[in-house]
Amino acid sequence: MVNWNNLDILASYQDLQQTNRVTLQDAMTGETGAKRVLKYSVNMAGNMAYNYAAKQVDDDILSTLSALAKEAQLSEKFQALYNGDVINTGENRLVLHHLTRGQLGDTVIADGVDKRVFYVKQQERIAEFANQVHSGQITNADGEQFTTVVQIGIGGSDLGPRAMYLALENWAKANQTFKMEAKFISNVDPDDAAAVLSSVDVAHSLFVLVSKSGTTLETLTNESFVKDALKKAGLDAAKHMIAVTSETSPLAKSEDYLTAFYMDDYIGGRYSSTSAVGGAVLSLAFGPEVFAQFLEGAAAEDKLAAGEDVMSNPDMLDALIGFYERNILGYPSTAVLPYSQALSRFPAHLQQADMESNGKSVNRFGESINYVTGPVIFGEPGTNGQHSFYQLLHQGTDIIPLQFVGFKNSQIGTDVDIQGSTSQQKLCANVAAQIIAFACGKEDENRNKNFEGGRPSSIIIGDKLTPASLGALLAHFENKIMFQGFLWNVNSFDQEGVQLGKVLAKKVLAHETEGALKEYSDLLHI
């Protein structure tokens, strides 16, 4: 039986507060540090590994964290989730994004439907449609092939798919799987939509409208913007648009779209990259086979996450160490630093995934909690970040844990040898150097040049960023967020904090305002 208890009543949490702290400068210096790098590593899917040698943990702390995982029933709770228990208690819903990429446990029946069968059917429908577009069976009104796909969405319907597309764009071009350029419209700011539309040939563009409810104001506003542009170009919008929505939405059977692909209420937007939300745009851009490889990588990582042994479960281990940094060491934020330009929007996606999931101050039953929860997530790709905000990371007053991601090889394979090393080697040298610089620091009589060190980091190291490794990387962080939500006893799968602003915005547009809200509305000429 699964017990949903607050963190502060768990005995192992109390034990964890009594453990001795690790002095990172000592732990990572000399032979001791070399041994830690080899020892503190666990394999991930996608030919990657999670290395946590430069984290402030030792065998005693890891043992206590393992005890906490057992007492908090992390494995049992994950099992309950993928077997179809109602884990999203706030909305009384199942949580099924893992089912979009594989079957980890029992058959899950919801609304009278086998949900794995449902998700696979949508993937098959998307694959058939994408292949018909690529082969020229589905064309524009003039019988010409579509060359561009434009996704219209907001939040998780944009951030995840956009990050995944950018991550694989160069790989697809290098591996001759690139089919269509993808663009994204998300911000209700008309300048965003106008800029995207001015950069594409609308006559040869296929638009993907993503709205689960079919009533998302921001998305429908941008749809109207696009339809207006198509009309002005003398085009029939219905011949240029498809929908990704729920079967019960007004978009599902509408003649305004070439076709519709379906999602459901059991997959939150920030977890939807492996559903039809990501599947449609990625299959059109790169081909269904590439999307399938992406799903396979995610599924392989999910299998590791289902393991009970913490020390061989990279997702749970990362979650526990991150929890230790937040709740025991008191670090308020985490920087995600991919040393790969292809992952330029991956930190932005993780901002939503983590902060929308675990930015909660009440438990899953709506009761106040008296411990901190989700950290602030931010980041940029290296080496750009080094010349931006690393100053604060190295010498600022707050210690900010770091999560590096690095790959031994580039996606494209084009490189140049300068002064005895390639650009890729220089990139990898920078991330290796940063780990040690943050951990060990450097003494200097000039206080401006003195580095205290003691700044913890982990690194996920892969061979190359491929569809499979990207899927595994995405699943790793999704599962990390899930496990941390279990520890904090919060509902990681609703986002009520997003809704209030939307409600008030509708009141502003309806001129149903008073007080300060009316004054701000007047200042903005609404």
DSSP line for 421-463: EEHHHHHHHHHHHHHHHHHH-B--SSGGG-B-----EEEEEES
Sign of CA dihedral 489, 492, 495, 497: positive
Sign of CA dihedral 257, 260, 266, 267: negative
* 502 catalytic per annotation: yes
The phi, psi pair for 40, rounded to 5°, reads -90, 70
> Smallest Cα–Cα separation from 162: which of 171, 175, 147, 152?
152
The one catalytic residue in 301, 325, 356, 380 is 356
3-state secondary structure of 358: helix
- CA 92, CA 282: separation in Å to the nearest integer? 30
- CA 468, CA 284: separation in Å to the nearest integer? 18
CA dihedral 359, 366, 154, 135 (to 10 degrees): 100
Residue 434 backbone zone (phi > 0: left; psi -120 to 50: alpha; other: beta): alpha
The phi, psi pair for 305, rounded to 5°, reads -65, -25
> Helix %, strand %, coil % for the chain, to 5?
50, 15, 35
* 387 catalytic per annotation: yes
Q: What tokens appear for 447 in the block?
A: 């206080």
> Smallest Cα–Cα separation from 314: which of 403, 400, 377?
403
Q: At what angle do helices 217-232 and 190-198 cross, to 10 degrees?
A: 40
Residue 379 backbone zone (phi > 0: left; psi -120 to 50: alpha; other: beta): left
> Smallest Cα–Cα separation from 168: which of 50, 291, 302, 272?
291
- CA 380, CA 268: separation in Å to the nearest integer? 25
Number of H helices, E strands in the chain: 18, 15
Q: Is the peptide bond before 216 cis (omega within 30 degrees of 0)?
A: no
What is the pairing mode between strands 41-44 and 48-51? antiparallel
The phi, psi pair for 85, rounded to 5°, reads -70, 160
The one catalytic residue in 231, 253, 387, 506 is 387
The one catalytic residue in 39, 408, 442, 502 is 502
Residues tagged active-site: 356, 387, 502
